[in-house]
A and B are shown apart, each in its own frame.
Chain A
Amino acid sequence: MTAYAELQVTTNYSFLRGASHADELVIAAKALELAAIGVADRNTLAGVVRAHVAAKEVGLKLLVGARLVPQDGPEVLCYPRDRVAYGRLCRLLTLGKRRAAKAECRFTLAEAADHGAGQVFIVLPPERPDGAFRTALAALGRRLPGACYLAAQCLYRGDDARRLVELAALAEACRTPLVATNDVRMHEAGRKALLDLVTCIREHCTIDQAGYRLGANAERHLKGPEEMAWLFRSMPDAVARSLEIARRCTFSLDELRYEYPEETTGQGRSPQEELERLTWLGARVRYPGAIPERVAKSLRRELALIEQLGYAPYFLTVEDIVRFARSRGILCQGRGSAANSAVCYCLGITSVDPAHMDLLFERFVSAERNEPPDIDVDFEHERREEVIQYIYGKYGRDRAGLAATVICYRGRSAIRETGKAMGLSADTVAALAGTLWGWSREAPSDAEVRERGLDPADRRLRQTLELTCQLVGFPRHLSQHVGGFVMTRGPLSELVPIENAAMAERTVVEWDKDDLDALGILKVDVLGLGMLTCLRKGFALLKAHCGLAIDLAGVPPDDPEVYDMLCRADSIGVFQVESRAQMTMLPRLKPREFYDLVIEVAIVRPGPIQGDMVHPYLRRRNGQEPETYPSRELRRVLEKTKGVPLFQEQAMQIAIVAAGFTPSEADRLRRAMATFRRTGTIHSFRRKFVDGMVARGYDQDFAERCFRQIEGFGEYGFPESHAASFALLVYVSAWLKCHHPAVFAAALLNSQPMGFYAPAQIVRDAREHGVEVRPPDVNRSDWDCTLEPAVSGGLALRLGLRQVKGLAAADAEHLVERRANGYPDPIVLWRRAGVTSRALEVLARADAYRSMGLDRREALWAVKGLPADPLPLFAAAGEEERGPEPAVALPAMAPGEQVVEDYRSLRLSLKAHPLAFLRAGLTREGTAPAETLARMRDGARLKVAGLVLVRQRPGSAKGVIFVTLEDETGVANAVVWPDVFERYRGVVLRASLLAIEGRLQREETVIHVVAERMVDLTDRLHELAAPAADHPARSFEAAQARADEVKRPGPDPAPPSRRPNQPRRHPRNVDPMPKSRDFH
């Protein structure tokens, strides 16, 4: 029985050089009964964790290494023999990467040799070994006696036997024994086509041009011991040597024991002592009277558990970051499994009072699953960078780095690159890309292909589609994670290679969060959250104008008015629950207490929706269905949610309690969930899960639904612990909106861009809540929106100059700074403020000169008449020469035109809604105002028209599009089924002003229009504007484009770049408009 270890394996983490995933290679190696496998990617360790996890799972020995590609010598496979040598390899790669551009690595062979202690080097001979190679090899052999080998391959090149003899002679002469490898690029020969494809993508050529850049044959796949023995029958030693090397390299990634940073302990106290001291200190601040006994008990229990698991340094690390943020007045809020503990509340990491929540700490940090606790901290999105730089400053770049994000090929990017490499025309590629959505691994059906005017029988096309499916999920490059920080006690560069990020001043480790997680390495997520910015600004305004000094934890709890407001779905601007889906859920769920908000936040998610858990929950909540439990053990898990699993933690608990998973299996399931779209491994759990539940006497259907829900969580895992933290922000922002609508609107506007709605809707909502809103004005406005005393006695909202499109902040600053007692006319403004004439013009377009008695047209005339920016020296002199200008009577602007111009410049108008001017015509056509919908009966036929605020295609809704229209009376929500959408695709996607005809559908208080016909009325907006104006309707697109853009804060991101073709206009006609993004 021969044995062999393949030591030259390239995974697809050698970007565009390998054609198989690490786990495919590991599994194939196990199946071929290889003794071990050595994964060595090109100047990187990015793929080794995946290989490590897979190897552990199948029980195969893995050698972790890298293929070093020095600038001046032969390539070398480097396998560290122990932990110290591994650290050296990381250091070498870090050295090479830090001094090179992103994704490059520069070092010399000599430097590689300097880091060679404890490593095994396998030198790879070039095509034709020459004198230089011989010298280099001999030098390496001398430098690393006994640890340097020469690789030899039999790749059916015709001269293999001759080459082998030559290499053997060379090996003999240089004292670098020959070792057999197969230069593996793929796990099976069937990947040859994909290997050729990635070669083409790498070389930027088409498959027809690639020529000799492709391999002549498909031999670079994993081969079993017998085959290798046969190929190297003349040199059996070379095969045997592979085992010798495998035996010598005992290093495993499991040895990377993570060590928490120590800085945070001071004055000789142990981390645990320090943590306890700070916790009790904080508790006395949180509970000024006396610490409630219940809380004190929790604190003692949690601290004991933390001590048992040794997590004190972790909590201290997070506490330190949070303390820094607080010292700078940066608002922050922790979330994650460990965040909602009494300890975290007392440390100030979270503001969710444990007295209000009943979250079991042990459920999140369990003693038997020895995994690190997980705390993510959200910071104000505008000031997150300060926190990041603080961390770099405190730990230094060699001890702190951002986690990587592996950017993978997805449907669109895959088809684009594949199509190009296969030589398809740009048009064909674009058409094919249109058939693919997101992660979908399935090729478009023949019918879909035909629909795009392409021939599905075409061989090249078919190959393209097949290869695209294979390419999907391949890593393409590493990017930086949004805020996951890794911090270590020792140098980070001995744990994992560090490279430069695309952004200056950022460094990134090579592993992504799954990798770090798999190795149990601490990561603190430092994330940005727009709502925190908004709340901080809101608190500041409250202090300034209402004398009210509060913070997140200080908002009066359990205010019934706040819940009343939420039950009415009056939630525009409120964190998380402002989306269309949430707004339809609010009146049905009728939240009355804090925990209801936790459920509200978590329930409108793909998990519960795909698992069909929403309706059962609502029925039970409304008492329409009895609360039953499938078993007593599940009652404990599901009691809080009336027997319906809604949270990720519950799904995990079900797996353990009902399906018989061990905690670590459940943990693997959770990981599989997170990556299942990429790797598809989750399905291996399906049988075990469902069978396990059925075997324990559960209903098959219930089991299937639970599993579907787990799949749904996979996309956007949403645990209760996150929901609780978010629910607090929901409550605080709702409270602010409810009691201080002007403050809330100002804070929202000053934190843009964020949230679901554009400024126009925020302003409209504020006005509907009785807030007087005043237009931006050169004599009244600051850059930010401000509050002024209202006539009625309350506060009026003065729009800031930030709303004026195209105005630079610096210009606005000068203008405000030098305003003194005000500017009487544009000339004084121009002379005193020293702003550019462009800025003055932009302000005129925004109609911001009303305080001077000038309307926008008169102001523009005056501003345009100013001379070009003078040289400073002649500033005064030039002024004298200007005689008075003859007075000019300009045509008055029609009100409709004024409104259009307002939209154009401010993206909103305080004067009127554009549809008010079109109403007469719309009424003639039988179009109903949106406000009348509430009075119509279910099933009524109707027609509504309005500006398109939102176009939404939720991933969980199977191709259904939701469109929100706004007219002067209110908003109307429409549902477009896929067949209708296909028919009106262009209209739906393009119209800024849309008329929808269809049937009214009423479900409790929720009203939808089910679209049947749609008409693009955008042209009518042109009519409003001046006849010769150059398509002013574009301004509506600019104003409304945010509708498509909806950024959802928090961990529920719309998957980016999954949008249908958005028509673009001729550049001349387009007002610079924010990139629109439809979301799903």
Chain B
Amino acid sequence: MLAAVDRAAAAAGLGPGMPLADGRAQVPGLKTAALTPLEDARALARLAEWCGRYTPWTAVDPAGSDPGAGAGLLLDVTGCAHLFGGEAALAADLAARLTGLGFAARLALADTVGAAWGLARFGCDRSTPWRVVPRGAARAALAPLPPAALRLSAAGGELLARFGLNSVGALYDLPPATLEPRFGPELAQRLRQALGLTPEVLSPLAPVPPHVARRVFAEPVMTAAPLARGLEKLAGGLCRRLESEALGARRLELTVYRVDGSLRRLALGTSRPSRDPDHLARLFAPEDIDPGFGIEVMTLAASVTEPLSALQMVLNPEGGAGAQDLAGLVDRLGARFGLGRVFRQRPVESHLPERASGLASALDPAGPAAWRRGRPRPLRLFAHPEAIEAVALLPDHPPARFRWRRVRHEVVRAEGPERIVPEWWRDDPGQAEARDYFRVEDAAGRRYWLYRAGRRWFLHGLFA
């Protein structure tokens, strides 16, 4: 489904809500990107923050976060406009800057949130990307706009259209008492809000308190030692906070604010929820942090957390501690070499022995992996099967003897064949033939895993 389209796509007849396949059929070669509502919301929030340069009262428009309908920001610039040379200058400046940032923006300044909302969306176009409505002029400015400019639900707007009420102005003429029974409270409320008859409060952007610890240095620090101490303090503070909520950190973000106003972020993850201050502090190597001209402030935030209830002291250190040690080891190795470089073996469902295992990230929350039982597999499997000389007397029979690495082995016992065919759906060349595997034991009691592919024989592994 298309969530939003650009101007070119709209011109080609595409619109939000259209199934992607239809869009593609209509416009071959249509460029699309997956919708990322979370990132969009974050970007919008960042932009709202950025607008803080004009006024402290900024907010993401709760009625305009649908990307298809045009996401919106609300700014209360009461008492701020003069700083930018008046309302018009502020609007022009904001519009120009937003354009510079690559946004297609429409903006309107008016007495009420409702009026500005409607005017920005329905009273502006490409030629007039911004409008300033003087005090008291909102009523007149809104009159020619469609009722949808009043922030109505789709159903409400459609109902108005059925009565031929196609402009806000047409509503002014109707006795207000007739509106509510027919259109519900929404219309009357929105109309009063837009005209300033009912106040509307703007709730400004406020950050959600994250799990974060903050440390301000008295002096800018530049060396590793105070940084390390700072880290420990931060970790201690953070872990206390996490403990109070029975949480453990899965992802940490260390932010250092340098004296020159630049900042640097280091982020890493842990293999299991943790709130051990030592462990967390040790994950960051102070020498990795470039202090620049000195660090003023450091924050350590747990950006991803998972429940971690308080731990019972363990009486039997054999059982649980081992797993914890392993986790600690994995984290330390990962912190040094990068967690992307620490692996563990995991079973892969494949009949082909060389594919039956694979590497998994050590961080994978893989449970006790189910290795397949039932088919004997050698303890040691060669990465590359080695060609051997062998001859079998009959088809489906194991060889009576074979020569491997120039040594002759007499087969005294054998079981098989186990026939395994190539995985036809993969596009590996070179494995075209079915293999017949045999477990054989030689005169010395050593056991081998052999297979025949076509007329050639290979040794693929050794049993203990």
Contact = CB atoms under 8 A, between A and B. Distances in A.
Contact of A453 (B16, B28, B166): B28
B350 A211 contact: yes
Contacts of A158: 375-376, 415-418, 437, 439
Interface string B35-58: 000000000000000000000000
Contacts of A1063: 18-19, 22, 25-26
A1066 B15 contact: yes
Interface in B415-440: 415-421, 424-425, 427, 434, 436-437, 439
Contacts of B28: 453
A885 B25 CA distance: 53
B157 A891 contact: no
A987 to B, nearest CB: 10
B349 to A, nearest CB: 2
A1029 B157 CA distance: 8
Interface string B167-197: 0001000110110011100000000000000
A210 B349 CA distance: 8
Interface stretch (A9-17, A216-224, A566-574): A216-224
A227 to B, nearest CB: 10
Which has the most chain B C-beta neighbours within 10 Å: A192, A193, A217, A453? A217
Interface in A555-589: none
A986 interface: yes
Contacts of B351: 212, 214, 216
A1024 to B, nearest CB: 13
Contact of A864 (B166, B182, B424): B182
B421 A216 contact: yes
B425 to A, nearest CB: 5
A867 B160 CA distance: 18
A218 to B, nearest CB: 6
Contact of B175 (A212, A431, A886, A1065): A886
Given A857-B163, A1066-B17, A888 B170 contact: no
Nearest to A1069: B17
A211 B170 CA distance: 68
Given A211-B350, A463-B425, A891-B170, A985 B418 contact: no
B18 A1065 contact: yes
A892 B161 contact: no
Nearest to A423: B425
Given A212-B372, A218-B421, A1061-B25, A1066 B18 contact: yes
A109 interface: no
Contacts of B24: 427
A156 interface: yes
Interface string A191-215: 0110010000000000111111110
B126 interface: no
Contacts of B302: none
Contact of B148 (A211, A463, A892, A1028): A1028
A833 interface: no
A547 interface: no
B17 A1068 contact: yes
Interface in A215-250: 216-219, 230
Nearest to A1068: B154
Interface string B396-418: 10000000000000000001111
Interface string A1030-1067: 10000000000000000000000000000001011111
A1069 B157 CA distance: 13
A865 interface: yes
Contact of B424 (A192, A845, A888): A192
A865 B166 contact: no
Nearest to A860: B162
A803 B161 CA distance: 23
Contacts of A157: 375, 418
A890 interface: yes
Contact of A208 (B146, B165, B183, B425): B425
B420 A1026 contact: no
A1026 B161 contact: yes
Contact of A159 (B158, B166, B415): B415
Given A861-B163, A1063-B22, A216 B427 contact: no
B161 A1030 contact: yes
Contacts of B177: 885-886
Interface in A456-497: 459-460, 463
Contact of A865 (B146, B165, B178): B178
Contact of A216 (B21, B25, B175, B418): B418
Contact of B425 (A162, A217, A422, A866): A422
Interface in B334-355: 348-351
A1027 interface: yes
B419 to A, nearest CB: 3
Contacts of B72: none
Nearest to A845: B162
B20 interface: yes
Contact of A156 (B146, B148, B162, B417): B417
A207 B421 contact: no
B416 A857 contact: no
B164 interface: yes
A137 B73 CA distance: 75
B269 interface: no
Contacts of A865: 178, 181-182
B460 to A, nearest CB: 13
A161 interface: yes
Nearest to A865: B181
A1027 B165 CA distance: 10
B461 interface: no
B166 A986 contact: no
Contacts of B372: 212
B164 A892 contact: yes
Contacts of A891: 163-166, 170
Contacts of A161: 415
A914 B166 CA distance: 21
A430 interface: yes
Given A216-B420, A886-B177, A1027-B166, A1066 B16 contact: yes
Contacts of A209: 349
A355 interface: no
Contacts of A1068: 17, 154
A261 to B, nearest CB: 52
Nearest to B27: A986
Given A192-B424, A211-B350, A845-B162, A888 B19 contact: no
A217 B434 contact: yes
B25 A986 contact: yes
Contacts of A422: 425
A1004 B186 CA distance: 64
A893 interface: yes
Interface in A808-863: 845, 857, 860-861
Contacts of A193: 424-425
B20 A427 contact: yes
Contacts of B424: 192-193, 196, 463
Contacts of A1067: 17
A159 B376 CA distance: 10
A431 B164 CA distance: 43
A878 to B, nearest CB: 12
Nearest to A1060: B25
24 contacts: A127-B374, A192-B424, A207-B425, A212-B351, A216-B418, A216-B419, A217-B421, A217-B434, A430-B21, A845-B162, A885-B177, A886-B177, A890-B164, A890-B165, A891-B164, A1026-B166, A1028-B157, A1028-B160, A1030-B154, A1061-B25, A1063-B22, A1065-B17, A1065-B18, A1066-B16
Closest 10 CB pairs of A and B: A211-B349, A1066-B17, A158-B418, A156-B419, A891-B164, A864-B182, A216-B351, A217-B419, A1063-B22, A886-B175
Given A865-B181, A1064-B19, 12 more contacts: A156-B417, A158-B437, A214-B351, A216-B420, A430-B21, A431-B21, A460-B427, A861-B163, A865-B182, A986-B26, A1026-B166, A1030-B161
